[in-house]
Amino acid sequence: MKNILIGIDLGGTNIKVGCFDSNLKLLGKTSIATRLRRADMGPQTVVERLSAEIGRLVGRCGLKTEDIAAAGIGTPGPADYKAGIIINSTNMPAFKNFPIRQLLSDKLNCPVAFDNDANVACLGEFVAGAGKNITDMVFFTLGTGIGGGIISGGKLIRGSSGNAAELGHVIIYPGGRQCNCGQRGCVEAYASANNTAKRAKEAVENGEQSGLKKILEQKGEIRCEDVYEYLKNGDALAKRITDETAEALAILCINMLHTTDPQRIVFAGGMIAAGDILLDRIKYYFNKEIWKLKKETVEICFATLGEDAGIIGAAAMAREKLKAKR
């Protein structure tokens, strides 16, 4: 019966795939390497390999490719989500002006939904994770960069061109640090994993005392994980850097609270491995700076689905696409 949903999370390193029933119950999942840097592995080949892998996965679940009702795919931007085209991606340089939605739809012979990976993960958390049973949520992924997603009245906000919720590039300190996007003072320029590490490195290079100096001397770099490791040991610089990160994120939370009035603000991504020590500081600055009347109207928490948020969200998007067609 044609009622299976496929959720695909296409990243620079791996492609994760999940096979779900119509109630989004996970029937099986798999992962293959994206391997885009080899000359013989153009995006066409990736789609071929991906389709073959989906066929194997569906088979392992005791089903046939013909049972697939719809698929959803999340990719890093920038992309033309309405046209279904990946424009270019720093992590996947071979995918240039690539019409992924149509090609995948032809291969799988079903409708394919396509959106950016942060929106997809946001929807995953909304339907099955930290956003379950609410209607309004703001979602941030804290990784190399900062991605975002907004659910309002149970629906993802996509904007006029499909590029809403680029929350990493909300300006929180005008004239502040230079961001990769060209603006100054974006929250990403402070609070992404990369920029957290970068600020620590700059401070050590400027002579600030810290155990992280040893890490920089030994490894030639400081990673975000190192900052949180030293934070646990009470390192003063690690504490200052974390406070700056937490304050930047708290300001972003306050701005989003005033913009969309969510019930929950959810943080996901590699950096939440830092744990409560980070979450507590975000809440501290949030409560310190928020307009009193708005206090305690929102819950700030971490995501709960981990890496599966992408495939679950993509399958949920596929289900939405089917409903819209009916």
In the bound state with Zn ion, the residue whose beta carbon lies nearer, of 102 and 180, is: 180
d(CA 148, CA 156): 11
DSSP assignments along 85-99, one per residue: EE---TT-TT-SSB-
Closest distance to Zn ion from the beta carbon of 110 (Å): 36
Best CA proximity match to 144, nearest among 70, 80, 224, 73: 224
Residues 26-55 contacting Zn ion, CB under 5 A: none
**How many other C-beta atoms lie within 10 A of the C-beta of residue 294?**
12
247: helix, coil or strand?
Answer: helix
| 8 A C-beta contact, residue 285 and residue 246 | yes
Nearer to Zn ion, 91 or 102 (CB): 91
Q: Which stretch binds Zn ion (CB under 5 A): 49-57, 126-134, 177-185, 293-301?
A: 177-185
Residue 180: CB minimum distance to Zn ion, A: 6
C-alpha distance from residue 275 to each of 226, 232, 249, 251, 303 (Å): 14, 11, 15, 19, 11
β-bridge pairing 68-75 and 4-10:
parallel
Contact with Zn ion (CB under 5 A) among 33, 52, 83, 181: 181
| Binding segment toward Zn ion, per CB under 5 A, in 5-13, 66-74, 171-179, 294-302 | 171-179
Rounded to whole angstroms, what are the CA distances from 96 to 85, 211, 303? Answer: 9, 43, 31
**Interface region with Zn ion, contact rule CB under 5 A, candidates 31-39, 168-176, 260-268, 298-306:** 168-176
Indicate which single residue of 186, 187, 222, 271 sits in contact with Zn ion (rule: CB under 5 A). Answer: 186
Which of 52-60, 140-148, 184-192, 207-215 is the region at the interface with Zn ion (rule: CB under 5 A)?
A: 184-192
Q: Which of 169, 198, 264, 281 binds Zn ion (CB under 5 A)?
A: 169
By CB under 5 A, is residue 163 in contact with Zn ion? Answer: no
Under a CB-based contact definition with an 8 Å cutoff, are residues 231 and 84 in contact?
no
C-alpha distances out from residue 132 to 61, 128, 129, Å: 27, 6, 6
CB 193 to Zn ion: min, Å: 15
Interface residue with Zn ion, options 179, 246, 268, 305 (CB under 5 A):
179
Ramachandran sector of residue 306 (left: φ over 0; alpha: ψ -120 to 50; beta: rest): left
| Residue 90 or 97 with smaller CB distance to Zn ion | 90
In whole angstroms, give the CA distance from residue 303 to residue 50: 27
Close Cβ partners of 120 (under 8 Å, ≥ 6 residues apart): 9, 72, 73, 74, 309, 310, 313, 314, 317
Selected binder of Zn ion within 51, 183, 260, 263 (CB under 5 A): 183
Nearest CB to Zn ion, comparing residues 75 and 192:
192
Residues contacting Zn ion: total by CB under 5 A: 5
| Closer CB to Zn ion, 145 or 262, in the complex | 145
Match 């992408």 to its residue by tokens: 310
Segment lying near Zn ion (by CB under 5 A), choices 181-189, 190-198, 257-265, 306-314:
181-189
Which stretch in 174-182, 201-209, 290-298, 317-325 sits in contact with Zn ion by CB under 5 A? 174-182
Binding residues for Zn ion, rule: CB under 5 A, are 169, 179, 181, 183, 186
